[in-house]
Structure 1
């Protein structure tokens, strides 16, 4: 991918799913094809609650971002934008594409009444954590805890 080709931002389409799945696996390690198919369906059913943006360069998907909106989570009263997935083609990284995608999500989230954006990142993906830091994200005072459900015995 050449840096001087114009970037086009647009919503995710069904024809993008293979490219998005490939980019995500390249950046994250394993295919989440089912997740992306379900997200596209959810966005089609509830377009105001979900967000998708594809960065297209030279007719090819160079990156994408998916997010959604939450109302009143964990007792809060504010609408929150949640960045669920972002990935950029390795050949197009460090050229501002992810920043453009986050900027578009930020604009759309504010238009829809969100006052804050949240995301999560795996600690063993330092490049992603570094990007989020550069994009203005900070550690939350909240910890995300998880465990297998096999221990549920109420």
Structure 2
């Protein structure tokens, strides 16, 4: 059933404040074109003017990734009078969380304060959507703070609906150890939750189930584990994740669990300062999987414990993930690991 999201008139108009000056008769019309390295400082300045914070590291990494693998990203800027007046970034996430079909996420969009109220944001979003359609992308998603009426109004007026997804989060405090005699997992069968899901935590991950960093030689096994659980070959998806992990330093934390020196599970998280407009050090977990032959042996718990420990060392404050609202098994597992509902809303727009 399609979610119902009525857009109140007041909310739909929430982005029309602080209007900039109208275009003069001799002024050239705005132009939308791909961003380049020369636009980086202007992007950072617009973002700082609208958020009050400098997210240089985030935009540097995002633009580097976009120019290195342009087929996986959309990055456009709106120029007026020779200056950048707005920008938008989106990335392909096809295959994420086991969902079929190509999808993309809009994770950054901004308009310079002096140019608001003139429809520039909608023009940028429209340009992103046109490019994604040409790439064969069927859906565009994003997240917003539930209490942000301006962004709610913007996305509502642009045709976005509530997505049937839940955003969950937890701090990077250590996961509570399991007591002797406890089941090593919270379910009998520990499926692959790659979605679009002593006695301390370090001892658990290093002694009972050793966990190490991902290596390029692990790719085939990761794809095999995922295919055994989902029935789908998502090689392109994991090749992209491996590239991010190995060549975008500081962006991705990816781990592999071993038993008898054999890879039996994996977990992947991305560390981004500023994704979806979030302005605190946060990571997003987007993939976790366990070999069917080793399910029920604590592999998933060990992976999560080591991920939390690694993120804490990096001074990441929170870990976020997104799950289908009716995926009871995954939600139960995440709840046992300390996840709670985030104060964020997941949105989606069909591009067909």
Distance 1:73 1:59 in 2: 38
Distance 1:79 1:55 in 2: 26
Distance 2:79 2:144 in 1: 24
SS of residue in 1 equivalent to 2:156: helix
Q: Within the alignment, does 1:3 sit opposite 2:22 as a pair?
A: yes
Q: Within the alignment, does 1:27 sit opposite 2:50 as a pair?
A: yes
Structure 2 residue ranges without an equivalent (≥5): 1-19, 176-200, 202-304, 306-352
Shift of residue 91, structure 1, vs aligned partner: 1.6
Distance 2:100 2:22 in 1: 42
TM-score, normalising length: structure 1: 0.93
Structure 1 residue ranges without an equivalent (≥5): none
User: What CA deviation, in whole Å up to 9, does each residue of 1:20-41 have, x standing for no partner?
Assistant: 1111122223111111111111
Distance 1:48 1:134 in 2: 28
Match of 2:104 in 1: 81
Higher-Rg member (1/2): 2
Distance 1:58 1:2, change over 3 A: farther
Q: Within the alignment, does 1:93 sit opposite 2:116 as a pair?
A: yes
Number of equivalent positions: 154
Shift of residue 2, structure 1, vs aligned partner: 4.1
Match of 2:92 in 1: 69
Match of 1:141 in 2: 164
Q: Which has the higher contact order (CA 8 A, sep 6+)?
A: 2
Q: Considering only aligned residues, what root-mean-square deviation do their CA atoms show, in Å? A: 1.4
Q: Within the alignment, does 1:114 sit opposite 2:133 as a pair?
A: no
TM-score, normalising length: structure 2: 0.42
User: What CA deviation, in whole Å up to 9, does each residue of 1:71-107 have, x standing for no partner?
Assistant: 1111111111110100011221121111111111101
User: What CA deviation, in whole Å up to 9, does each residue of 1:107-138 have, x standing for no partner?
Assistant: 11111111000011123432122111111112
